[in-house]
Amino acid sequence: MSMDSGYGWTSFPEEHEHGFRLWLDKLLQLWENSHSLPLWENNLVWLFARLAQNNIGYINWDPYIPTMFTRLLRSFNLPTTSGKVHVTRLGSTYDSTAAVNWVAAMLGGNSCCQTYVSSLFKTVESFYHPSNNGRWVTKLQRILSKLPAEVVRRVHRERYRPPSWDTPVPASHRLTDDDITEFVKSMQTVVLLAMFGKGGSTGAAGALQSLALLRPELIVPPVLERLYQSLETVTEPHRLTAALHCVVAVSRSLVKGGSYFPEGQSHVIPLLTSCLPGIDPNDTKKCMVTLQFIKKCALQQQD
């Protein structure tokens, strides 16, 4: 039986004793005892991620969370000295995207997952600094953009999506407002650092867009502050382009305002006026992102 056909055994709460409980402990033990990055580890992590997403609140993952975060951190292949980067053999077999799905499903309730999320981003914070660059940037940017997006999907599933055939999330394990706030705060520092990274601002912009949907009052003001600072300097045009790119990402939360960030709309007109010099035919990239910001603001006003 293929792994895809076996996914049917990862859901249906009333059938747990005849489904994943028959094999989960054995596979987790196999995974924990494998330290040489086998080729099949990625398949197992994807299976665990799918299982966690389909059974939020029905499995206690806490005993395995330390191992999972250790493996995730190791997969980044971060340098430990000032010399050359040590690349672990077969390090690419561990897909951080699967781990992100797994982490998003474990948040909430009485889980210790958020503690490890906060510790993870504090550990790798210096690698998001604009002066830092290396082969690890791609993986760090990927987890930066994908983890908030997965949390947004989970919040939508638990609070806004119409009833479906998906396994219902118990009320005791749904993400609370405090859970969401703590998650956003744990990522806020690294996302703001990544805005001006050498690897580009795409990953940071994606993360800011998702985080601003969750807590605009925590994300939008520091992004605007960095844009205003970039508008005042003429010696670093690349910072203005990156800041505009990120403001475009949070434009919906900025223009809509809402109960969490009602003062957002008061920034729109001053920003549009200040950004007009960005329409510069000598700098195509800056010109395009400026026009994109103007378009986004206009479209959001129409909605």
Give the N- to C-terminal CA distance of the chain in Å, as an integer. 49
Note the pLDDT of residue 6: 47
DSSP 83: S
Instruction: Decide which of 62 and 262 is more confident.
Output: 62
pLDDT recorded at residue 90: 47
Cα(280)–Cα(46) distance, integer angstroms: 46
pLDDT digits (tens, 9 = 90+) for 226-239: 999 988 876 777 88
Give the pLDDT confidence of 240-280 residue by residue, as tens digits. 899 999 999 999 988 887 777 888 888 889 999 988 888 88
pLDDT at 22: 81
Q: pTM value?
A: 0.87
The whole-angstrom separation of Cα 99 and Cα 42 is 9
Average per-residue pLDDT for the chain: 85
